[in-house]
Amino acid sequence: MMENGWLGRSAATGALPADLEGSDLFVAQCLTAAADGDRAAYYELGVAYSTGSHGIDCDLIEAHKWFNLAAVGGHEEAQFCRAEISEEMTAREIAEAQRRARQWLSQTSRKAA
């Protein structure tokens, strides 16, 4: 479940663009929080991508990426979910998910510096 502390917040202005709706709004909210290192946001993105919820297409590589980021941050449920979806993925897909997670960390750490 999303934590109310980050829902609807923008890093720059505290608000989201008015034209965002549905899945776009959900993703924007999660990405804003994820950019701040919010492991609950990482987990919510993993759930959305692994289940195809919130109007987001199911994408196990993206799901693994977000679960991995949450798990590294100590989110216990994310550790379980990452392991579970890994059983449905090839080694190449897992490697791609890990590459994307490293890329995310690299990009967000540059913004913070």
pLDDT at position 111: 62
Q: 54, exposed or middle or buried, with CB in 10 Å at 0-12, 13-18, 19+?
A: middle
Residue spans of the domains in the chain: they are 22-112
pLDDT in tens, the chain (113 residues): 333 333 333 333 344 444 445 678 888 999 999 999 899 999 999 999 999 998 889 999 999 999 999 999 999 999 999 999 999 999 999 999 999 999 999 998 776 55
DSSP string, 35-68: HTT-HHHHHHHHHHHHHT-TTPPP-HHHHHHHHH
C-alpha to C-alpha distance for 65 and 15, rounded to whole angstroms = 26
pLDDT at position 73: 92
